[in-house]
Homo-oligomer: A and B are copies of this chain.
Amino acid sequence: MAQKPSIPKGTRDFSPEQMRRRNHIFSTIRGVFNRYGYQPIETPAMENLSTLLGKYGDEGDRLLFKVLNSGEFTSSLSPELLQPGMVNRAALAISEKGLRYDLTVPFARFVVQNQAGIHFPFKRYQIQPVWRADRPQKGRYREFYQCDADVIGSKSMFNELELVLMVDEVFQQLNIRTAIKINNRKVLYGIAEHIGHPDRLIDITVAIDKLEKIGAEAVMAELQSKGIDAEACAKLLPIIGLRGSASEQLDVLRPLLEQSEVGKLGMAELDELFGLIAQAHKAKPLHATVELDLSLARGLNYYTGAIFEVKALDAQIGSICGGGRYDDLTGIFGLKGVSGVGISFGADRIYDVMQQLDLFGQTDEWNAIMVANFGEAETLYSMSLLRQCDLQQTPVLVYPDTAKLKKQLDYANALRIPYVLMAGDAEMAQQQITLKDMTTGQQTTIAASELAAALNAIIEQKQA
């Protein structure tokens, strides 16, 4: 056991300092979800593989972490399954469970399984880790948290509006300037019809989804490699390159989609959503810019209406939040015709943006009070005084050992603790205690009877 222990690649430990930052992000998101009337649920880390398989494409199936069956699993491995090329089937022979890959499929499973107890429209949120056996790389992990809010069982565009307002509020609170990009899958279908390839919607969305990353030429090359002719590409490019206000872009698009029933439906949805957003903005301005981006595609094929993506304006990073409407997510589990819409915040990318932009600020402070230890009687005296004080949520950390004062103060500094309370014989005799401000070095002696008031005044001042 001499070897230093380690953790699996792509996974992470989180220190108290990192936890403080992460919790700041989670509690901001959770606070907004709560305030909009979304309620939390949780689902198990392990799902039956039958729930997960086939929901994320072949690549997704491959990236599922599979959990080995208990018991004599080897007896399920026929010689045939041990042949080269049979490894996927062998895996399924010896594992029935897998770790969840996202929160969307477990949510759909939850809704179908528990539908009798659910009141629709069901507004739920879920903040839990997910696992993917992806190749680990910078900013990509094998275990990471998703923060999802969905409303299911309502077709109203008010849900889309509300999600936009929620996104705006989260990033305003986190102090991240953002652009919320919106598009509509029905409009994308209409565009596919317009360029003569309605049957290739998926190839088209997959390709244009990469527009920002790889550029227009590479997208065109990819499309042509998929059999979409140059003429169609020539029609597509100016459309997904449109800029300007939503209504300006829609005015250009309207005549082009005249022949597409689905496309016209999508246009009407965009009209309605941007109209609602404009009215909400008039009543109380949004902080983010909200734009129609016809090049926005979202890779996931279950989207059927509005789609969203959020970019940080001041950082070079992919989207930090995304989502959209799906008309039949629960259909895969046998519950048809229940429309929903949702968003998902990427906590890790948000963390990276905030770190890059130095936005954590006060979050890094730990407003604790440390009780120095000068011996058993002294420490009991200080602890007793503090136990009488109602300091609300302020942490009080008792230094447990009777160590040299310098060592104790160094400890307080290392932990960024701003105040240390000290009581020796003199203080005990006078029913007093000494407060040391670790920033200024200043010491103040306080009567025991006034300790609560003094500390609460300091805490209030800190928080202001």
Which A residues contact B (CB, under 8 angstroms)? 1-8, 11-16, 19-20, 23, 31, 34-37, 39-48, 50-51, 62, 65-68, 70-75, 77, 81-82, 84, 86-87, 90-91, 94-97, 99, 109-110, 112-114, 117, 119, 121, 123-124, 129, 131, 133, 142-143, 151, 154-156, 158-159, 162, 165, 276, 279-280, 283-284, 332-334, 366, 368, 370, 373, 376, 379-380, 383-384, 387-388, 391, 393-402, 411, 414-415
In angstroms, Cα B126 to Cα A15, docked, is 11
CB atoms of A94 and B68 under 8 A apart: yes
**Contacts A5-B113, A380-B276 hold; do A45 and B131 have CB atoms under 8 A apart?**
yes
Residues of B within 8 A of A397 (CB): 36-37, 123
Q: Which residue of B lies closest to A90 (CB)?
A: B74
Residues of B within 8 A of A4 (CB): 112-113, 333-334
9 contacting pairs across A/B (C-beta < 8 A): A7-B48, A8-B44, A19-B39, A34-B395, A46-B131, A67-B68, A68-B95, A74-B81, A158-B400
Q: Which residue of B lies closest to A105 (CB)?
A: B5
CB atoms of A117 and B384 under 8 A apart: no
**Contacts A4-B112, A44-B11, A387-B283 hold; do A400 and B334 have CB atoms under 8 A apart?**
no
CB atoms of B415 and A44 under 8 A apart: no
CB atoms of A43 and B334 under 8 A apart: no
In angstroms, Cα B387 to Cα A95, docked, is 50
CB atoms of B415 and A119 under 8 A apart: yes
Q: How far is the CB of A178 from chain B (nearest CB, A)?
A: 19
Q: How far is the CB of A297 from chain B (nearest CB, A)?
A: 26
Task: Choose one: B67, B276, B373; the contact of A66 (CB below 8 Å).
Answer: B67
In angstroms, Cα B370 to Cα A37, docked, is 8
In angstroms, Cα B143 to Cα A11, docked, is 20
